[in-house]
């Protein structure tokens, strides 16, 4: 390798390292703070490696937020069911909009797309009123149903389905395969990279959702994790070490999920193009 190439490499890695650092510092700070005493939290410059580590902060989460485990379960339920529903509706709708022929199909699709231009905040109140009419306030249904279908997901998946050659569906038909079976046995496995992306987006947005759970739930047992975090900010000030300990607990599942899914994302990208 020539000197010039070496220098080029070094520069590239420096830039990449800086990017990684910027991404990582908040997480490291969060972890570090979660292991400090209330006093250490306020020391400037900040302490990066607290000795001894205050693991007790993690058990003290429950003192301040006794419903924290329940909120964790709520998050799991809402995120998993919501994601499954979103995938289901996206798969079915994308198939209809890409493969089935029916009157007004494209116009209907463009109308759906147009709703993407409406900011989410505008839909907050109408959705809330609908939930109230259904008498769904303070239930899982209220937390899940408004997100059971996503136009963006339908759109993404439809584009992916359109790229799958028409002849594949002809071949499947000739092989004796009906529409639904074709969707399940051929289209869905082929669209796995797109489905992983959609699922990740759905899980993350559901896991982190704040505004909607805040307005449709009242009882502490129906609260989700982002709302539970708010409990650590009291009138007497914020308990940063506890808030950060709780935040670590909230973030951890997402990080684990990402590490696990990474394999699939990479597999999806490196998969050779659809040949035939």
Q: Which stretches of the chain bind another protein, using CB under 8 A? A: 106-107, 110, 165, 167-168, 170-178, 181, 186, 189-190, 272, 274-276
Angle at which helix 68-98 crosses helix 240-270, to 10 degrees, equals 30
Q: Which is nearer to another protein, 60 or 264 (CB)?
A: 264
- Phi, psi for 218 (deg, rounded to 5): -120, -50
Measured from the CB atom, is 193 or 220 closer to another protein?
193
Whether the bond between 52 and the residue before it is cis, its omega within 30 degrees of 0, is yes
CB of 177 to another protein, least distance (A): 5
Minimal distance, residue 161 CB to another protein, in Å = 14
Q: CB of 276: closest distance to another protein in angstroms?
A: 4
Q: How far from chain centre, in Å, is Cα 160?
A: 20
Residue 8 vs 165, nearer CB to another protein? 165
> Which H or E run contains 234?
strand 233-234
Contact present, 184 and 175 (Cβ < 8 Å):
no
Min dist CB 30 to another protein, Å, is 40
The nearer residue to another protein, 188 or 257, going by C-beta atoms, is 188
Does the bond joining 30 to the residue before it have cis omega, within 30 degrees of 0?
no
Of the pair 154, 225, the CB lying nearest another protein is at 154
Q: Residue 48: name the closest of 26, 68, 77, 63 by CA.
A: 26
Closest contact distance (angstroms) between CB of 101 and another protein is 8
């Amino acid at each position: 390798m020539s000197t010039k190439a070496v220098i080029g490499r070094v520069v590239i890695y420096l830039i990449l390292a800086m990017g990684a650092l910027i991404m990582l510092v908040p997480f490291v700070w969060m972890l570090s703070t979660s292991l400090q005493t209330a006093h250490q939290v306020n020391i400037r410059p900040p302490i990066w490696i607290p000795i001894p580590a205050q693991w007790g902060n993690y058990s003290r989460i429950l003192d301040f937020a006794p419903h924290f485990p329940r909120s964790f379960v709520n998050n799991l339920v809402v995120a998993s069911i919501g994601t499954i529903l979103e995938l289901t509706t996206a798969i079915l709708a994308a198939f209809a909009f890409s493969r089935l022929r029916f009157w007004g199909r494209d116009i209907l699709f463009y109308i759906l797309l147009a709703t993407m231009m409406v900011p989410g905040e505008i839909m907050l109140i109408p959705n809330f009123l609908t939930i109230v009419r259904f008498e769904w306030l303070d239930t899982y249904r209220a937390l899940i149903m408004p997100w059971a279908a996503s136009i963006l997901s339908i759109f993404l998946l439809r584009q992916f389905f359109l790229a799958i050659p028409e002849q594949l569906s002809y071949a499947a038909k000739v092989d004796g395969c009906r529409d639904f079976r074709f969707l399940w046995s051929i289209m869905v496995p082929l669209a796995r990279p797109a489905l992983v992306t959609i699922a990740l987006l759905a899980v993350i947005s559901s896991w982190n959702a704040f505004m909607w759970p805040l307005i449709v739930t009242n009882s502490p047992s129906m609260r989700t994790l982002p709302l539970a975090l708010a409990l650590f900010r009291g009138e007497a000030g914020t308990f940063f070490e506890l808030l950060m300990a709780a935040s670590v607990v909230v973030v951890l599942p997402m990080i684990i999920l990402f590490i696990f899914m990474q394999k699939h994302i990479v597999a999806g990208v490196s998969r050779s193009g659809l040949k035939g």
